[in-house]
A and B are shown apart, each in its own frame.
Chain A
């Protein structure tokens, strides 16, 4: 376990019914860095991501075993409140899914339910801060009362990021955040991710090896439910130790 690791996973097994989706995953995720999870479809990278904020609890047949700690605390311990955990570990989904409410309400929702802002001015400041952080403020500051669903796809995704960071979580999980976006919107989000790592620890699942190479400092390669290799992104892409990693990044499997 490295000194700066905020998330440590040990011996994580996930089952969907009888089918084992993850097998003995052990992974340390360092603080204030971007860690990308890559691998072919169905390799379990999204499953692992969803273990970190217990979104797998929503799948009735899913069973998680093993040990995942955030800042030393076991998140699957019985006394852990999932609601408090998800306030600390935010999530951005594959498809932009803003609430069918105004832009302002979208961002203010998290702080409101967690009681993070007292009074209207404090909330206004928090909303502005989150939208600025997400690089959306200048585009929407004149139409905060308009529905979030009226924005373009890229803007919607940045709105979802603003919504997530408004709660000021420790960790932001991103599940293929750019897969539904065009290259320009993708580039904007990638820049954004790079800026966000000053304040947040980011774990991103991506299908695109180029994206992983561009945004992340560390990369973990999953294959068929196992963690094959993990290390600094540069090393993974230039001198992978495992043959399967080599095959994947050169395009022979995937």
Chain B
């Protein structure tokens, strides 16, 4: 009698092929996860330093010689701080050394003292201990980013400066705090003062404009093409062109924006309005394609049911078909918006690459965007901008994650079985 169910060699080969395929799949997932972990890990370890800042306590003389009690606003605050530094480090006599001790604090020290005096007018007339922001190089030493074993001429801080910093540290005059100003300041030439807020607002405003234009236009276009347009050569041509548009390099849209919106229509340069318009050109085809695919996925029986009830085609579409397609449309929109959020090239063409210190609060003011800010910081010469760059990338990623979470929540809300 022949053996019916014990595996033949052909069956064994098939089985091992299946096992092999599963291992290929697992390997692929492992490799992609590894890349993700390496990328996010390196950004996190590099960027985490930028979320802290070093503060230095200096005793300043606010006596009548320095500040006129009747008119404190006229005082030369920067000189007061410099004098206090000279008192703190009497050994620094030479011009070069003097410059070094001033360089321990941020360039903003005069304004910081002014703010302190405004907040504490009772301190005028005596001496006060004021916390100043340390300079970026001080900050690097304080968090141990400077390798002290290197020869002096190969590192940013000289032995002298390091000795002063150690002296201050021993006195307990150095502390590290969370760098709130990173989220409340605009850009700055000084890394210790540079913040992300102007770029964050710029991105938010640009995306708002982009969404408000591309979402309604794309949905109307998709619904018309899918539900109402006659299927003929002309609508095929439109479809092909929309698909092609999705593949056009983004810098081309930037050039278009430059020549159309800026040069022809004279819209304000570097503004989120123009940025949003350019990005919506880029986002439109993505949303249209996704929306059409999800409209097509709605079972025709729903359409027939509505039309059979005497609903007009518009009613059938908006009461029944579009709500069912909405989750898919939202997913496509979020993909498009995420693309727009990460887009740099077209924004460079319309001048959103500017150095923006002020936080924009309308769509007509000059602004920059997160990816452009990252690009600018990555290019900046100061060492401390390296970690700022990574910190800005973290903010960008968090922005993206927030957008995706909102999309998932919306999709959950609208998802229906059929």
Contacts and interface: CB of A to CB of B under 8 A. Distances in A.
Given A99-B320, A100-B417, A86 B307 contact: yes
B135 to A, nearest CB: 63
A55 B308 contact: yes
Chain B's interface size range is 20 to 34
A160 interface: yes
Contact of A60 (B231, B311, B319, B324): B231
A97 B324 contact: no
A66 interface: no
Nearest to B301: A97
B310 interface: yes
B184 interface: no
A140 B154 CA distance: 83
A45 interface: no
The secondary structure that dominates the A interface is: helix
A167 interface: yes
B409 interface: no
A84 B310 CA distance: 7
B299 to A, nearest CB: 8
Interface string A115-143: 00000000000000000000000000000
A15 interface: no
Contacts of A33: none
B230 A60 contact: yes
Given A60-B231, A97-B302, A167 B307 contact: no
Contacts of A167: 309-310
Interface string B191-206: 0000000000000000
Interface residues of A, number: 27
B76 interface: no
Contacts of B301: 93, 95, 97
Given A87-B310, A113-B311, A93 B305 contact: yes
A240 interface: no
Interface in B266-301: 299, 301
B312 interface: yes
Contacts of A60: 230-231
Interface in B92-118: none
Most buried by A among B304, B312, B324: B304
B270 to A, nearest CB: 47
A8 interface: no
A97 B305 contact: yes
Contact of B308 (A91, A100, A147): A91
A163 interface: yes
A164 B418 contact: no
Nearest to B232: A60
A86 B302 contact: no
Contact of B305 (A53, A114, A160): A160
B236 to A, nearest CB: 14
Contacts, number: 64
A193 to B, nearest CB: 17
Interface string A148-191: 01000000000010011001000000000000000000000000
Interface in B41-82: none
A92 to B, nearest CB: 8
B402 interface: no
Nearest to A160: B305
B304 A90 contact: no
Contacts of B320: 99
Given A93-B305, A97-B301, A113 B416 contact: no
B315 interface: yes
A226 to B, nearest CB: 26
Contact of B304 (A85, A93, A147): A93
B308 A93 contact: yes
Given A83-B310, A109-B319, A99 B304 contact: no
A23 B310 CA distance: 28
A66 to B, nearest CB: 22
Interface string A58-100: 1010000000000000000000000111110011010101111
B309 A164 contact: yes
B306 interface: yes
Given A97-B305, A149-B418, 19 more contacts: A55-B307, A55-B308, A60-B230, A83-B312, A84-B310, A90-B310, A93-B305, A97-B299, A99-B302, A99-B305, A100-B324, A100-B417, A109-B309, A113-B309, A113-B315, A113-B319, A147-B416, A163-B309, A167-B310
Interface of B: 230-231, 299, 301-302, 304-312, 315, 319-320, 324, 416-418
14 contacts: A58-B304, A83-B310, A85-B310, A86-B308, A90-B309, A93-B304, A95-B301, A100-B302, A110-B309, A113-B315, A147-B417, A149-B417, A164-B309, A167-B310
